[in-house]
Chain A
Amino acid sequence: MTERVLLEAKGLEIRFGGVVAAQDINIQIHEGHNLAIIGPNGAGKTTFLNICTGYLKPHKGKVFFDGKDVTRLQPRHLVRRGVARAFQIPQLFTEHSVLENLLIAGAAQSRRWSPFRPLHQIPERKAMLHLLDMVKCSHIADRPVSELPEGQRKLVDIAIALALKPKLLFMDEPTSGVASSEKFEVLDIIAEALTEAKVTSVFVEHDMGIVDRFADEVAVWNRGEVLFRGPPDDVLNHPDVIRDVIGEEV
């Protein structure tokens, strides 16, 4: 594994009224790693993702991607530089089928849009079918996404993000809403797809079993701050983390 810094946050701060959702956040994300973010509800995990992907502008601090200051960029500009995102609540095109959702993403990524070539005949179609296969959703390609159970919607949401060929993928609670019996299966699928696409990932997760199995590193969030960061074994067994974070999860 390389140790190249892909994304770096420096001194991020953001408040919503009296709520401090980010307070002097400093963190580096290394290429090739899978970083898990854990922490209680309201700790500011989603806010961190929102800032890193351009959805929110921090009141203080900066975000660097590939060494360049990207703090003020819009999500679409960050996407085009290689930062993609999957959402806590899947964000899909509800009037399109699963395959069409991916075809739209594929077309968006390639930016070759003939206004008269049908969406279903774009050159990226094959790659999108392969992606659906990777996330084990080939059999539902023609289903409207609005009919799918949450677990499959999560997978489609992640597949859309992968269709953008990102260097860095943020996933907000990829297994929330997935039945606990299926969580490992879903994460196995995602992990395999990430490895195949060689994507660095940052994922927010509440299930410590999942964190232990899939993360190379863990960062602990609390009240808008990063409390700890380190290998899963160290962080998950740290008495403070067990008391303040994991305790609340159980």
Chain B
Amino acid sequence: MQFNLRTVVPSLIVLAVAVLPLLAPTTQVLLTLALSKGLAVLGVIVLLQAGQVSFGHALFFGVSAYAAAFVGKGFGGGELFSMLAIGVVASLAISVVVGLFVVRYRHIFFGMLNLAVSMIFFSLLEKFYHVTGGSDGLSVARPLFLGIEMEREGFEMVLFYLVLVLALGAAWLTHRFLNSPIGNMMRTIKTNEVRLEYLGVSARNTLLVGYIVSAGLCGLGGALAAVAQGVVTPEYAWWIRSGEFVFIAILGGSGSVGGAFVGSLLYEAVRTYASAFAGDVWQMILGIVLLFVILFAPSGITGLFARLTGRKASPASEEAGQ
């Protein structure tokens, strides 16, 4: 195998993330949450590759989190994998319905329609108190892991490594998808939809495929976050959360699947430690960081890294950040 920075650095990051909780146990919950969110950010990145920004993807994060919580409640503790599966299936199902509608629109209309749908869902969560627990949300009891009841510490450890494996697997599969014929067709929606139609391909159906993939990723992240936090609240589906996903995608770099996780880890780290040390200026810090990214590294951190290590950042990533 070739020894170069482009393969070594990502491997080192994965390794560092994998061993960090062993050295500093307090980081474990933070990393679990960051990686769960990273999965949702990955979903947002899939759509950014088609040139579309969704400001409502927390919808799928929330749908899946609540679905997982209901399963957990309904079966007294529940089984982790069935919670995750039901969560993902629920978000996929909703994404087909919402997707059939929103893929008819582009750009600002696409973004705002997604926002609108997520706000409706958010208000339903608040309103139907008896089912959803209103703004207090629902608690998610610690589920069984493959039928085994675990202590909190052991479970958290298992959950962390599960999230890490799922994040790596999802990143790999998403990468494959984006490089496949259908993934490339989806990316042409950004550059020339007319030509795509003149190839005999329905641009709407192609975007719908991407939309469902992206919702599935958000769903997986949402269900994992629900289990990790032990509680789901309407805040999961809040529009601020959707904006956060977009923010992290731009920060990490929307041109590559790694950007989702690099951005997410960095974001959670800044948020946690800056708010601990610098009180309420953490949002200002993040704002300034984003400003610098947009001005000087529009392809995000991963794009900057690709440029520094000699690979020409793809124009896809350059533009998505602008």
> A113-B181, A114-B180 in contact; A94/B197 too (CB < 8 A)?
no
- Give chain B nearest CB distance to A64 CB in angstroms: 20
Question: In the complex, which residues of chain B have a beta carbon less than 8 angstroms from the beta carbon of A114?
Answer: 180-181
Question: In the complex, which residues of chain B have a beta carbon less than 8 angstroms from the beta carbon of A144?
Answer: 315
Within 8 Å of chain A (Cβ to Cβ): is B277?
Answer: no
Within 8 Å of chain A (Cβ to Cβ): is B291?
Answer: no
Q: Which of A6-14, A101-109, A227-235, A236-244 contacts B (4 or more CB under 8 A)?
A: A101-109
Identify which of A75, A95, A117 contacts B181 (C-beta below 8 A). Answer: A117
Query: Are B315 and A92 in contact, CB atoms less than 8 angstroms apart?
Result: no
Identify which of B180, B187, B198 contacts A95 (C-beta below 8 A). Answer: B187
1/0 contact string of A111-146 vs chain B (CB within 8 Å): 101111111001000000000000000000000101
Complexed CA–CA distance, A75 and B180 (Å): 24
Identify which of A77, A116, A118, A164 contacts B199 (C-beta below 8 A). Answer: A164
Within 8 Å of chain A (Cβ to Cβ): is B64?
Answer: no
- Give chain A nearest CB distance to B85 CB in angstroms: 20
- Give chain A nearest CB distance to B82 CB in angstroms: 25
Complexed CA–CA distance, A80 and B187 (Å): 21
Question: In the complex, which residues of chain B have a beta carbon less than 8 angstroms from the beta carbon of A53?
Answer: 198
Closest to A157 in B: B195
Within 8 Å of chain B (Cβ to Cβ): is A74?
Answer: yes
Within 8 Å of chain B (Cβ to Cβ): is A38?
Answer: no
Query: Are B181 and A76 in contact, CB atoms less than 8 angstroms apart?
Result: no
Within 8 Å of chain A (Cβ to Cβ): is B188?
Answer: yes
Query: Are A74 and B181 in contact, CB atoms less than 8 angstroms apart?
Result: no
Q: Give the bracket for the number of chain B residues in contact with chain A.
A: 20 to 34
Within 8 Å of chain B (Cβ to Cβ): is A160?
Answer: yes
> A93-B188, A94-B191 in contact; A119/B179 too (CB < 8 A)?
yes
Question: In the complex, which residues of chain B have a beta carbon less than 8 angstroms from the beta carbon of A223?
Answer: none
Query: Are A108 and B185 in contact, CB atoms less than 8 angstroms apart?
Result: yes
Question: In the complex, which residues of chain B have a beta carbon less than 8 angstroms from the beta carbon of A95?
Answer: 187, 190-191, 314-316, 319
Within 8 Å of chain A (Cβ to Cβ): is B201?
Answer: yes
Query: Are A116 and B184 in contact, CB atoms less than 8 angstroms apart?
Result: no
Complexed CA–CA distance, A114 and B316 (Å): 23
Query: Are A92 and B195 in contact, CB atoms less than 8 angstroms apart?
Result: yes
Question: In the complex, which residues of chain A have a beta carbon less than 8 angstroms from the beta carbon of B179?
Answer: 118-119
Interface hub of B180, B187, B190, B314 (most chain A Cβ within 10 A) = B180
Question: In the complex, which residues of chain A have a beta carbon less than 8 angstroms from the beta carbon of B198?
Answer: 53, 75-76, 79, 84-85, 91, 161
Within 8 Å of chain A (Cβ to Cβ): is B104?
Answer: no
Query: Are A93 and B191 in contact, CB atoms less than 8 angstroms apart?
Result: yes
Complexed CA–CA distance, A115 and B173 (Å): 9
- Give chain B nearest CB distance to A161 CB in angstroms: 8
> A104-B184, A104-B185, A118-B180 in contact; A76/B201 too (CB < 8 A)?
yes
Question: In the complex, which residues of chain B have a beta carbon less than 8 angstroms from the beta carbon of A85?
Answer: 198
Query: Are A105 and B199 in contact, CB atoms less than 8 angstroms apart?
Result: yes
Within 8 Å of chain A (Cβ to Cβ): is B307?
Answer: no
Identify which of B180, B187, B200 contacts A108 (C-beta below 8 A). Answer: B200
- Give chain A nearest CB distance to B177 CB in angstroms: 5
- Number of chain A residues whose Cβ lies closer than 8 Å to a Cβ of chain B: 36
Complexed CA–CA distance, A172 and B85 (Å): 52
Complexed CA–CA distance, A104 and B181 (Å): 6
1/0 contact string of A140-164 vs chain B (CB within 8 Å): 0000101000000000000011001
Query: Are A118 and B176 in contact, CB atoms less than 8 angstroms apart?
Result: yes
Identify which of B176, B181, B182 contacts A103 (C-beta below 8 A). Answer: B181
- Give chain B nearest CB distance to A109 CB in angstroms: 7
Within 8 Å of chain A (Cβ to Cβ): is B202?
Answer: yes
Question: In the complex, which residues of chain B have a beta carbon less than 8 angstroms from the beta carbon of A91?
Answer: 192, 194-195, 198
- Give chain A nearest CB distance to B178 CB in angstroms: 10
Contact residues of B between 26 and 67, Cβ < 8 Å to A: none
Within 8 Å of chain A (Cβ to Cβ): is B222?
Answer: no
Query: Are B176 and A116 in contact, CB atoms less than 8 angstroms apart?
Result: yes
Question: In the complex, which residues of chain B have a beta carbon less than 8 angstroms from the beta carbon of A107?
Answer: 181, 184-185
16 A-B pairs in the complex with CB atoms less than 8 angstroms apart: A75-B197, A79-B199, A84-B198, A93-B188, A95-B187, A95-B315, A107-B181, A107-B185, A108-B181, A109-B200, A113-B180, A113-B181, A115-B180, A119-B183, A146-B315, A164-B200
Complexed CA–CA distance, A96 and B191 (Å): 9
Complexed CA–CA distance, A213 and B199 (Å): 30
Identify which of B182, B196, B200, B316 contacts A115 (C-beta below 8 A). Answer: B182
Contact residues of A between 54 and 88, Cβ < 8 Å to B: 74-77, 79-80, 84-85
> A100-B184, A104-B188, A144-B315 in contact; A74/B197 too (CB < 8 A)?
yes
Contact residues of B between 46 and 104, Cβ < 8 Å to A: none
Query: Are B191 and A116 in contact, CB atoms less than 8 angstroms apart?
Result: no
Complexed CA–CA distance, A225 and B196 (Å): 31
Complexed CA–CA distance, A185 and B196 (Å): 28
Complexed CA–CA distance, A91 and B185 (Å): 14
- Give chain A nearest CB distance to B35 CB in angstroms: 23
Closest to B176 in A: A116
> A95-B187, A95-B315, A96-B188 in contact; A119/B201 too (CB < 8 A)?
no
Closest to A124 in B: B181
Closest 3 pairs (CB-CB, A-B): A107-B181, A79-B200, A108-B199
